[in-house]
Structure 1
């Protein structure tokens, strides 16, 4: 741990309204060294704790101090840091504070569908935790597991690895992913020596038993009913009852287990949403698919014509994520269980159908040569999906997507390949978010002085943080409460100047990092 030096702060505290602004700005200053960051972290002034720990790109010495910090506010903020190595965040899986564990389970901020999974040991700790006598009753272990399940931090490969784990509760957890397990893995769980694991496997086998589903199906409209009809085996009697009553038809049209006679009738249903779901199915014969390809509704025709036979259900699901929607709606997609074969994505990338190319562009493991072709695709949604999802998307494409997709900017700003320089041509852009990006460009030939008075606060903040501002102007901005926080985040400030600001803010003693 760093040792305290003999230098102390110029004051024991500051009542200046500028003090909190300086601390918050220094916390996100990209040039702040570990000595500055440790001083913020060990200060009794809490204004900088969350911005430093939740948004900062922290060196190892600071990470260790954060993980050992006595305040759950500090540890909980770091648990949501999207810049942090998941292996470091994962060390909080057994944190004594339930809210810290819940924040870890909930995933990084800003929330994105493209999340790096947590390490297996962290996942296992969260999934097997039990409530203790001193735990927060408002944040239970089950609630934390639910947060984790929807966070995107569990990789599709994880349940496969758990089928042979020595802990029976993890083998039972793996049984919950029955549909995606291999036949050998299923058989292993069926014959598991632990009765709880065998029961978990039996329940999932029951999902494939139409009569068992019929017995379990609630009559009232509710989530359990929709879930069963959406994904579990459907008996002829249940299908007929739904068709006669005209209820749950979209669930039946989607369900891969719906009987063939019901599929035939759903294909003629007056609701085009139902027919479009039928047109996407992987079990259609050529005749029914050809009829749907001539449907009077464009959505139905699109779904039928886009995906030739033969099809798989995994391919259907992958296309469901992109078809009929633009890149602005789709953005970054999480890896899902039961992904299609990589060769299918490669074929989609070479397809003449833009909907299939959009599916390929959303797959982050697409080979580099195919990704390079899609980066120059004539369809803008293909290009922009590649920008949001593929790690090799060229920087100029990320900037193009940033300009075109306002809803995806929070995600695109997290990508290191998004250009932060060469943006002079965007200083006068009509969109304030674009002006703000350009205002921070450290290579501007002309300083963005006019943007310091921009009508948009985010643009003014970005201009105040531009490292090319002259020293005298930066000093004035530091003394103005309206710009002090962003001026303190200016990368032109040296560690010496940052320490001087911390002295004035009463942030406590300095620390050596040697």
Structure 2
């Protein structure tokens, strides 16, 4: 390591702006060792903390330093690190700073519909936390719970485990997932010794009891009304009133509890959007399904013909996630609390209908032989959904998807199987995001010097970080404030050179900065 007697950024003539640029670049340099990363945590330049802690693939020693760091900014950035082990991130559930806990509850960045769940102990801590009496936090415990609920970090199995938890508030929490609980689990909650749990179970009666739902149904148009009519038990009186008024008909057509007489009438409604929802239902008889398969509207016919009988509601919901949109709009398909049997997905993978194969391609646990077939599927949406969702999607397919799906590139860049080499043929691509990917290829025969003048800033940054750049050119880029950050991220820089830059920036080797 270079001597700490090396001049600081100021004494060596380097500006504060240049020093900060180096620190931000070093923070994301893939060749930076633990010693370099630990020194960054000691820097008073906070701009380097977030890229290091939120985006870095950190070794254990650095993780421990981050978790023990006095600054909530450091710990909060790590709470969002998608590369970090959820067990390590989960330790922040006990963090004294509410904003750090809120960042943990909000989930990793970039956002994704498929996130590795937090451990149960972290979830329990966040779900049962209470605000300190007399303390007015910037983020309340309830707000943190709301963040967690929509983060994708709660696995579908968690509510089932909570039905038998020692803490009554977690058993009451499990009642909120009433629709997905087994009959035995529901009965256990109804007979719970704690009155608050029994009350939580009683309030969910409207999921099954049409009269209870009718009593709770607001008359005005609002989200609670739409939610009840979309997913809870529907009485004949409520269905008749909706039909007579022409209100909430798509919700009624979707709802699995809608009475049969109402379904029959909705199937003949003039609005094709209503009929599409009817055509997707799992409780249709052969006659009604056959009639919808001959509907004058193409979307209705497609929905009726795609999914043969017998059907389940979970299968209906799985198809809802992939029908009507292309792979670029769908991308990563989130886990559901009620998934079809894995065998159904395997059957879909072998189907002659591309819409069923798209459903199969969205499953990350699809068997390897089925995934291999879908990787060569003639339907591009099938292939690209597999690329976004299956961990065994081949690298060449990931690159194909990267080129075809602009909206999904942020997610695809997080996947280690996305090719980062062999990209010379893409250096002149019309799309700047594609050129930027190619500009970072460390195996290029010639360094991407011309891309240092590319009109797109992201391409210029990627070119400056390419380890194929000549050493003298890299040295010049490090001294130019316009390119110093990207040059400091260049993997060709050894730990010795990175430490030298830290010396020049005045970064100490002592205790962490607060």
CA distance in 2: counterparts of 1:496 and 1:414, whole angstroms: 28
Contact preservation (8 Å) 2:240, 2:262: yes
Aligned length: 514
- Residues 93-130 of structure 1 show CA distances to partners (whole Å, capped at 9, x for unaligned) of 01111111111000000001111000000000001111
Cα distance in 2 for residues equivalent to 1:455 and 1:116: 37
Once residues 25 and 179 of structure 1 are traced to their aligned partners in structure 2, the CA distance between those partners, rounded to angstroms, is 49
| Residue pairs, 1:130-209, within 5 angstroms | 130-133=130-133, 135-209=135-209
Q: Retained in 2: the 8 A contact 1:38–1:511?
A: no
SS at match of 1:311: coil
What is the CA–CA distance in structure 2 between the aligned matches of 1:13 and 1:155, rounded to whole Å?
54
Residue 333 of structure 1, CA deviation: 1.0
Question: Which deviates more from structure 2 when the two are superposed, residues 186-195 or residues 110-119?
Answer: 186-195
Please give the per-residue CA displacement for 1:293-321, whole angstroms capped at 9, x wherever unaligned.
11111111110000001100000000000
On the 8 A contact 1:50/1:77 being kept in 2, the answer is yes
More off after superposition, 112-121 vs 130-139: 130-139
Q: CA deviation at 1:133?
A: 3.4
Alpha-carbon deviation of 1:9?
Answer: 9.1
CA contact (8 A) 1:11 1:506 kept: no
User: 1:206: Cα distance to partner?
Assistant: 3.0
Post-superposition offset of 1:324: 1.9
Is the Cα contact below 8 Å between 2:33 and 2:495 reproduced in 1? yes
Question: TM-score scaled to structure 1, two decimals?
Answer: 0.97
Residue 16 of structure 1, CA deviation: 2.9
- Map of 1:41 onto structure 2: 41
Deviation for aligned residue 1:8: 9.4
In the alignment, structure 1 residue 493 sits paired with structure 2 residue 489: no
Displacement, 1:135? Answer: 4.9
Is the CA contact 2:4–2:503 (under 8 Å) kept in the aligned structure 1? no
Instruction: Please tell me whether residue 232 in structure 1 is matched to residue 239 in structure 2.
Output: no
Matched ranges for 1:297-376 at <5 A: 297-376=297-376
CA distance in 1 between partners of 2:4 and 2:203 (Å):
59
Alpha-carbon distance change, 291 to 177 in structure 1, aligned in 2, over 3 angstroms: same
1:251 deviates by: 0.6
* 1:513–1:497 distance in 2 versus 1, CA, 3 Å: farther
Cα 1:189–1:512 change in 2 (3 A) is closer
For residues 183 and 378 of structure 1, the distance between their equivalents in structure 2, rounded to whole angstroms, comes to 43
**What RMSD, in angstroms, separates the aligned Cα atoms of the two structures?**
2.6
Give the direction of change, closer, same or farther, for the CA distance of 1:322–1:3 in structure 2 (3 Å limit). farther
1:42-61 CA distance string (max 9 Å, x none): 11121201110010110101
Per-residue deviation, residues 146-187 of structure 1 (Å, max 9, x unmatched): 110110000001111111111111111111111111111111
Contact 1:432 1:458 (8 Å CA) reproduced: yes
Contact 2:179 2:207 in 1 (8 A): no
Q: 1:279 to 1:4 in 2, by over 3 A?
A: farther
Instruction: Please list every run of 5 or more consecutive structure 2 residues that lacks an aligned counterpart in the other structure.
Output: none
Q: In the alignment, is the contact (CA less than 8 A) between 2:8 and 2:504 conserved in 1?
A: no
Q: How many Å apart are 1:6 and its aligned residue?
A: 12
- 1:226 to 1:466, Cα distance in 2 relative to 1, 3 A: same
Runs of 4 or more, structure 1, over 6 Å off, are 1-10, 510-514
Shift of 1:3: 15
Q: CA deviation at 1:509?
A: 2.3
Change (3 A) 1:255 1:84: same
1:306-351 Cα distance to aligned partner (Å, 9 max, x none):
0001100000000000012110010011111010000000000000
TM-score normalised by structure 2 residue count: 0.97
